[in-house]
């Protein structure tokens, strides 16, 4: 890992390949995410200057939001992040009391999960906003296709389970918003979620499909015993948290099995 991040600059292609092929060491994860998401440039000597600029930018926007009374001392941190993002992207509503849009709910779910992973709140904001931008831009056309891919790969892994889900009319009611739009934020605990986001941030939203497939396979017996789309959806939105690391490990194996392993020499 160290040689991939070796000064004077980081080779982004090699860093992406490493992140796709191997688990990221926890001590380097935030730095890697910052570089891959474009928060920090590849050249190491610029990191300090760029982060100082980003901190000043965040503070300026934060101050402006206080002046126009969109945030105050009691505002939850994730909501502060949302307001900063809205002002930065020109989407701040005219009235702070207006109800949230669907895209705001996605942002808040990702923000809440990221807040548990990142200590510095300014670092946290830039990671959230850059990750959300990646989902909205780079993966804009791919994410709507993921439910179809889920059905495709589930048919290859367990056609019987797929048949049962179809008979229950459950395939159209799986928690796709939670799984794919929110990237499992609010579904998986921190340690498991980080490993999934490593792959998404480094270039593959398709890993989300295989996590979903593995969840269905892992809880097959439970799902086969349920006979309504509503009950199946309710269970999958609140899966047990005790074996999610194993689920993610199997999902990554399944992903490599069907999609191959990046071959770039690192």
Mean pLDDT across the stretch 85-97? 91
Render pLDDT for 24-79 as a digit per residue (tens, 0 to 9).
Answer: 999 999 999 999 999 999 998 999 999 999 999 999 999 999 999 999 999 999 99
Mean pLDDT across the stretch 167-189? 97
**What is the value of pTM for the model shown?**
0.93
User: How many CB atoms within 10 Å of residue 16?
Assistant: 21
Q: Is a pLDDT exceeding 70 seen at residue 6?
A: no
Closest Cα to residue 47, out of 1, 2, 5? Answer: 5
Q: At what angle do helices 244-259 and 146-157 cross, to 10 degrees?
A: 90
Render pLDDT for 118-174 as a digit per residue (tens, 0 to 9).
Answer: 999 999 999 999 999 999 999 999 999 999 999 999 999 999 999 999 999 999 999
- C-alpha triplet 141, 147, 149: angle, nearest 5°: 85
Q: Return the pLDDT at 52.
A: 97
245 burial level (CB within 10 Å; 0-12, 13-18, 19+): middle
Higher pLDDT, 174 or 242: 174
Tokens matching residue 120: 């510095």
Q: Distance between the two ends of the chain, CA-based, in angstroms?
A: 9
Distance (Å, rounded) from C-alpha 30 to C-alpha 36?
10
Q: Return the pLDDT at 9.
A: 64
Q: Is a pLDDT exceeding 80 seen at residue 4?
A: no
Q: Return the pLDDT at 264.
A: 41
Average pLDDT in the chain: 93
Higher pLDDT, 96 or 185: 185
Render pLDDT for 201-218 as a digit per residue (tens, 0 to 9).
Answer: 999 999 999 999 999 999
- Cα 209 to Cα 39, 142, 148, 215, 227, distances in angstroms: 27, 11, 9, 10, 23
Residues 6+ positions from 4 with CB-CB distance below 8 Å = 10, 11, 14, 15, 18, 266
Phi and psi at 43, nearest 5°, equal -80, 120
Distance (Å, rounded) from C-alpha 219 to C-alpha 174?
14
Which residue ranges form the domains of the chain, and what is each CATH number?
9-138 (1.10.8.680), 139-265 (1.10.472.80)
Q: Return the pLDDT at 265.
A: 34
Distance (Å, rounded) from C-alpha 81 to C-alpha 117?
15
Quickly state the pLDDT bin for 3 (edges 50, 70, 90).
low
């Amino acid at each position: 890992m160290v040689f991939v991040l070796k000064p004077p600059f980081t080779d982004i292609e090699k860093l992406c390949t490493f992140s796709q092929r191997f688990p990221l060491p926890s001590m380097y994860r935030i730095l890697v995410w910052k570089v891959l998401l474009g928060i920090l440039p590849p050249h190491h000597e610029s990191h300090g200057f760029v982060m100082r600029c980003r901190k000043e930018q965040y503070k300026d926007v934060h101050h402006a939001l206080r002046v126009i009374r969109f945030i105050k001392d009691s505002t939850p941190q994730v909501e502060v992040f949302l307001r900063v993002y809205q002002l930065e992207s020109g989407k701040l509503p005219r009235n702070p009391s207006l109800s949230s849009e669907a895209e705001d709910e996605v942002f808040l779910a990702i923000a809440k999960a990221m807040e548990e992973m990142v200590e510095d709140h300014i670092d946290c904001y830039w990671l959230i906003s850059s990750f959300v931008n990646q989902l909205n831009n780079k993966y804009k056309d791919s994410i709507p296709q993921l439910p179809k891919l889920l059905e495709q790969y589930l048919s290859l892994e367990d056609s019987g389970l797929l048949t049962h889900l179809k008979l229950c009319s459950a395939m159209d009611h799986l928690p796709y918003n939670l799984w794919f739009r929110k990237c499992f934020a609010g579904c998986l605990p921190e340690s498991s979620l980080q490993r999934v986001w490593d792959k998404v941030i480094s270039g593959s939203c398709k890993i989300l499909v295989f996590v979903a497939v593995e969840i269905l396979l892992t809880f097959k017996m439970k799902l086969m015993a349920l006979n309504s789309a509503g009950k199946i959806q309710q269970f999958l939105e609140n899966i047990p948290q005790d074996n999610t690391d194993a689920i993610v490990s199997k999902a990554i194996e399944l992903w490599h099995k069907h999609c191959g392993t990046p071959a770039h020499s690192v």
